Structure formats: structure tokens, C-alpha cells
Amino acid sequence: MTISIKTSEEIEKMRVAGRLAAEVLEMIEPYVKPGVSTGELDRLCHDYIVNTQHAVSASLGYHGFPKSVCISVNDVVCHGIPSDDKLLKDGDIVNIDVTVIKDEYHGDTSKMYLVGKPTIQGERLCRITQESLYLALRLVKPGIRLRTLGREIQKFVEAQDFSVVREYCGHGIGKGFHEEPQVLHYDADDGGVVLQPGMTFTVEPMVNAGDYRIRSMKDGWTVKTKDRSLSAQYEHTIVVTENGCEILTLRKDDTIPAVLVNEA
């Protein structure tokens, strides 16, 4: 596989795209509440991306995807299609996945929102999923094998009696929405990939409260847990630095520093 090493100029463009994607997730937060439709949330995100940020939604029209963001509620693992018929209710957990294109470069990120008063399981699942992402990001530095990230995510998640989805993974990103390498969130062959400064990719574990198996809906996009258990996901776009990684999609509510410096 050919993994592109980004130049400093390319990384700066990705910083801009990543910051815009993070700002969409910050902007939409006050609107995620009981009674709102996922269709309305999508329209708010689209308007913000196009008219405020003067950017482009990478999702809209991607392989025919009909909306500007993916919104996945409760047992939806990923690729949920926003709809005016889907109203959020108290206790729901919601993932909003945003990818913005600015000056040809992509910024890709997602986070969970707790609607109203969360259930104990829903809150715990979201917290553990976010912690699994942070755990992986703290491990990133030049010279480590890519599979280390997936191995440690899987170990951490399964110790909490949750499971990691196998069919979807993180990915290289830049001018392309999905580039090499694939970033698996469980322990599996990585093709010998060793991290190098300038690599840019997403880490985006999908964690189920029950079994890891999934089922695809007839719309060709929506993916749900097979056992109808809750599912959560957090995603960041990062660049590998000389001594760790920089999170290009950092939000104000993130509880880890903008630059993760690993111990020697």
C-alpha cells in the first residue's frame, strides 16, 4: 500500500479543514435536544458549512449519500440518514459525523451527544468509547506498529464488557476522503505499517453495548447492531508528529491536550 506523507503546507490545510469540522460539532450541540428531528440537525449543519464556513460537505452526494452529515441514533452504528420523521427523545444517544472539505483537503470527525437525561448504560457506553479513542491517540508516535492502536482499543473495550465493530475502520485522509492505510480498531494484521511523521489518518472506534455483529438496512446506508444494543463512536483526524500526534479536529470539550506528546 502507498501511504502519503503530508508536507507542512498540506498539514496546514488539513488543520483548517479539521478545525472547521470540529466547529460544526460545537455549533450543533445546543440544538441536540428532545423533539428535534435529525433532518433539522442536518439542515443546520449544512447551512453552517456552506454559508458560514464557505466550505463543502464531503458526505453530501458521496456514493449517493443524500445528506450533509451522518446522524446515528441508539442502535445505529454508523451512516444514519437524517430524516424529518426521526425525532430525538429523552435518553437517546446520538452520533453526528461531519466531514468538511476546504481548499481540497478533508477534516473528518464525530462525537456522541446525550439527549436530555441519559440512561446509565448510554452514558457509560459513550464515555468508554471516547476513552478508547483517547487511549489510542496517546499511543501514537513514530516507529510504532499501526496495529498497536487496534489491539489496545480492543483490550480496553472488552475489559468493560463492550465490543468493537469489525466491519468499519479509520482511514488515511487528505485530498482524498478515504486514503491508505486502513486503521482497524481491533487486533489484526496491519500489513506491516509503521507510523511515520506526516501520516494523516482518522481513528474512530465504533463500540457496541452488546455483540459486535451488525446488520445493514435496506436503504443501503444505515448500519445497526444485530442484537439491537446501543452503539457509540468518537472520531478524530490526526497527524503523526516527531514525538506523538496532533489532533486536527480538536474541540473545546475535548479533555486531552491539543498536542499529545508521548513519553520516550
Q: What is the DSSP string of 201-263?
A: EEE--EEESS-S-EEE-TTSS-EEETT---EEE-BEEEEE-SSEEEETT--TT-SS-SEEE--
CB neighbour list of residue 2: distance below 8 Å, 6 or more residues apart? 180
| C-alpha closest to that of 28 among 100, 97, 75 | 97
8 Å CB contact between 105 and 175: yes
Q: Which helix (H) or strand (E) holds 72?
A: strand 70-73
Give CA–CA dist 241/228, Å, rounded. 39
CB neighbour list of residue 11: distance below 8 Å, 6 or more residues apart? 198, 200, 239
- Check whether 235 is labelled as a binding-site residue: yes
Residue 155 phi, psi (nearest 5): -60, -45
Give CA–CA dist 62/250, Å, rounded. 24
Number of other CB atoms surrounding residue 117 within 10 Å? 10
Q: Which helix (H) or strand (E) holds 20?
A: helix 8-28
- Check whether 178 is labelled as a binding-site residue: yes
- Check whether 108 is labelled as a binding-site residue: yes
Tell me, rounded to whole angstroms, the distance of Cα 97 from its chain centroid.
6
- Check whether 131 is labelled as a binding-site residue: no
Sequence ranges of the binding site: 79, 97, 108, 171, 178, 204, 235
Sequence ranges of the binding site for substrate: 79, 178
Sequence ranges of the binding site for a divalent metal cation: 97, 108, 171, 204, 235
